[in-house]
Amino acid sequence: MNLGRRIHQLGVGLVALVLLAAATLLDGWLPGDTDDPGADPFVRAAALGEPVDLRTARVQVDAVRVSKTLLSFGTELLSPGVWVLIELTTEATRENTGVRFAELRDDAGRVWSLTGRSQNVCSEGPPGVPVGCATYFEVPPDALDGLRLRLAREPFEQRYDVVAEVDLGLTDRDAEAAAGAPPLEVPGTTLGGG
Amino acid sequence: MAVLVVGVLTVVVASLGGFARTTPDGVRVVRPGVEVDATPLRVRIDRASAAYEVSGRAADPGRAYVVVEGTVALEDRESVGNGVLEDTFGADFRAYEFGELGDGVPPEVQVAGDGSTLLGLGPGLTYEVLLVYEVDEVDVPTTVTVSLRRHVRRASSLSVGEIGWHDAATFARVELEVAPLSGERPEELL
Any B CB within 8 A of A2 CB: no
pLDDT at residue B26 is higher than 80: no
pLDDT at residue B21 is higher than 70: no
> How sure is the predictor about B10, in pLDDT bands with cuts at 50, 70 and 90?
confident
| DSSP string across chain B | -HHHHHHHHHHHHHHTTTTS-B-TTS-EEE-TT-EEEETTEEEEEEEEEEESEETTEEPPTTEEEEEEEEEEEE-SSB-EEHHHHHHTEEESS-EEETTEEESSPPPEEEETTT--B--EE-TT-EEEEEEEEEEEGGG--SEEEEEEEEEEEEE-SSSTT-EEEEEEEEEEEEEEEEEPP-SSPPGGG-
Tally A–B CB contacts below 8 A: 74
Q: Give the mean pLDDT of B73-100.
A: 93
Residue A160 pairs with which residues in a beta bridge?
Answer: none
Between B163 and B19, where is the model more confident? B163
pLDDT at A36: 67
ipTM over the 0.85 cut-off: no
% of chain A surpassing 90 pLDDT? 62
pLDDT at residue A128 is higher than 90: yes
Torsion of CA B96, B89, B128, B32, to 10 degrees: 110
Any B CB within 8 A of A73 CB: no
Q: Give the mean pLDDT of B27-39.
A: 94
Any A CB within 8 A of B154 CB: no
Give the other-Cβ count within 10 Å of B10's Cβ: 12
Yes or no, beta carbons of A113 and B82 under 8 Å apart: no
Yes or no, beta carbons of A81 and B78 under 8 Å apart: no
pLDDT at residue A9 is higher than 80: yes
Chain B residue whose CA is closest to A32: B161
Chain B nearest-CA distance from A151, in A, is: 16
Say what the pTM is.
Answer: 0.82
What is the C-alpha to C-alpha distance for residues A37 and A45, in angstroms, rounded to an integer? 19
pLDDT at B7: 78
> How sure is the predictor about B32, in pLDDT bands with cuts at 50, 70 and 90?
very high
pLDDT at residue A152 is higher than 90: yes
pLDDT at residue B20 is higher than 90: no
Torsion of CA B122, B126, B128, B131, to 10 degrees: 50
